[in-house]
Structure 1
Amino acid sequence: MTADPAVGRAAPPTGYRLLLPDDWAQIPLRRGDTEAAVRALVASAFARVPSDVPRDRLTPLRLELERRLLTAVAEARKADALEMYLPVKTAGEVNLGASFTVSNVRLPARAGVEGVAAQVTDPTDVAVQLLARDRTHGSELDLSSGEVDGAIAVRRERVVPADLERGAELATRRVEYLVSVPGDPEQWLVAAFSAIGAGDPRDDLADAMVEWFDALMRTFRWSWT
């Protein structure tokens, strides 16, 4: 979908698009049938397992996979994500080693003179503030700024420790792109990627997955209807 020249780019975009590989699936999170979509994804994956694999071995795996996916969806919904993306192996397995979500974030109004809400800062100034604030996290955080499809963006990368209380049994490599929405200075889009690698979020597999996500974000384009 492309921008209508008659509308112009002063109006906020109505959506976005990515050149998503065929072996990745999108799960919308704002529809009531999300759980059904997850179960259909799992059923489709296991339907491609060779027929000589005993069904009684597959059923517990399928149920566990559904449980983990539905838990991931619930966490993404708590974060007000719009969509979740998961890699689906051509061999018929769903790989939970990596995923990413896309969310909208609206900046809160700032108190101005005499308590009156101040106008939201220019995206460039917001990016500078994000970079200055997040550098206090130390060496575990890699920060940079630039543009995504012509919009000011901040890229954040870090390793997040395991958190058993939240069901995160392994540390994860996290990459976030915070992208300012054209025509709406209060709104930012957040694409948040997570990978565990081969059990170590700093290993070669995790590095390769991060490179893949960075390449995917270079295909990001705003869309106007």
Structure 2
Amino acid sequence: MVDPTTQSTSPPTGYHLLLPEDWVQIPLQQGDAEVAVRSIVTSAFARVATDVPRDKLTPLRLELERRLLAAVAEARRAEALEMYLPVKLAGEANLGASFTVSHARLPVRSGPDGGSSRVSDPAEIAVQLLAGESATSASETDLSSGEVDGAVAVRREHVVPADPERGVELASRRVEYLVAVPADPSQWLVAAFSTIGAGNPRDDLAHAMVEWFDALMTTFRWSWT
């Protein structure tokens, strides 16, 4: 059992979420993500009926592995710590969603002498984030502040347009939670969710998935080990 005084005086060593069983976590900074991906694929296809012809399964297995590895590569480029994906086989509903968890950099404050310093008060950072986003973002961006497991948090929701030149064929709906790490003013955690809905980031499925992610974030808890 963790001493309550430790929780108030030292930063957490991790976090946990009540993740549905059809979602999986892939660690990106520790361990071998590629091994984890292949293990996920093997486990998924182990549940397929034995009478399904192998020549039909092999292309599906290779395609699932390819997509997961591509998602891992993209999350690593964004310097994410972990990636979470729904694992579904062909013929089942494809949620077209994922989320990552990463660290965030603190904003820099300019002083009267022209120098700069890091802002250390989470509430002040939240105000700056809200003010900065409101001044530069389109009217469709939804911004709010609150708490996640007792820590100051900023929630940002917006739609990112398709970008075929970068291989992004569909627009996506994004929700980001920026959460201050307790007892460590230099660290913030970002949980970034993305969904394409049923092909339209403003459709009913996209809306339902955003509500699901908001509900999931209510289960977020810091951990001390």
TM-score relative to the length of structure 1: 0.90
1:161 touches 1:170 (CA, 8 Å); kept in 2?
yes
1:178 touches 1:189 (CA, 8 Å); kept in 2?
yes
Q: Given the alignment of the two structures, is residue 190 of structure 1 paired with residue 170 of structure 2, yes or no?
A: no
Query: Which AA in structure 2 matches 1:101?
Result: T
Cα deviation code 1:151-174 (max 9, x no counterpart) = 110001111111223332211111
Q: Aligned residue for 1:7?
A: 6
TM-score relative to the length of structure 2: 0.90
CA RMSD of aligned residues (A): 2.2
What SS is found at the alignment partner of 2:170?
coil
Structure 2 unaligned regions, length at least 5: none
After superposition, the Cα gap between the structure-2 partners of 1:156 and 1:6, relative to the gap in structure 1 and judged at 3 Å, is closer
Q: Aligned residue for 1:79?
A: 78
- Select between 106-115 and 29-38 the one with higher mean Cα deviation: 106-115
2:60 touches 2:90 (CA, 8 Å); kept in 1?
no
1:38 touches 1:69 (CA, 8 Å); kept in 2?
yes
What SS is found at the alignment partner of 1:182?
coil
Cα deviation code 1:72-121 (max 9, x no counterpart) = 11111111111111112489969461111111123265454656552424
Identity %: 74
Q: Given the alignment of the two structures, is residue 62 of structure 1 paired with residue 55 of structure 2, yes or no?
A: no
Q: How many residues align?
A: 224
1:143 touches 1:156 (CA, 8 Å); kept in 2?
yes
Q: Aligned residue for 1:199?
A: 199
What SS is found at the alignment partner of 1:9?
helix
1:173 touches 1:196 (CA, 8 Å); kept in 2?
yes
Query: Which AA in structure 2 matches 1:148?
Result: V
Cα deviation code 1:61-80 (max 9, x no counterpart) = 22122111111111111111
Query: Which AA in structure 2 matches 1:27?
Result: I
CA distance in 2, matches of 1:120, 1:176: 21
CA distance in 1, matches of 2:62, 2:95: 14
After superposition, the Cα gap between the structure-2 partners of 1:108 and 1:153, relative to the gap in structure 1 and judged at 3 Å, is closer
2:106 touches 2:118 (CA, 8 Å); kept in 1?
no
Q: Aligned residue for 2:102?
A: 103
After superposition, the Cα gap between the structure-2 partners of 1:186 and 1:163, relative to the gap in structure 1 and judged at 3 Å, is same
Structure 1 unaligned regions, length at least 5: none
Q: Aligned residue for 1:24?
A: 23
Q: Aligned residue for 1:46?
A: 45
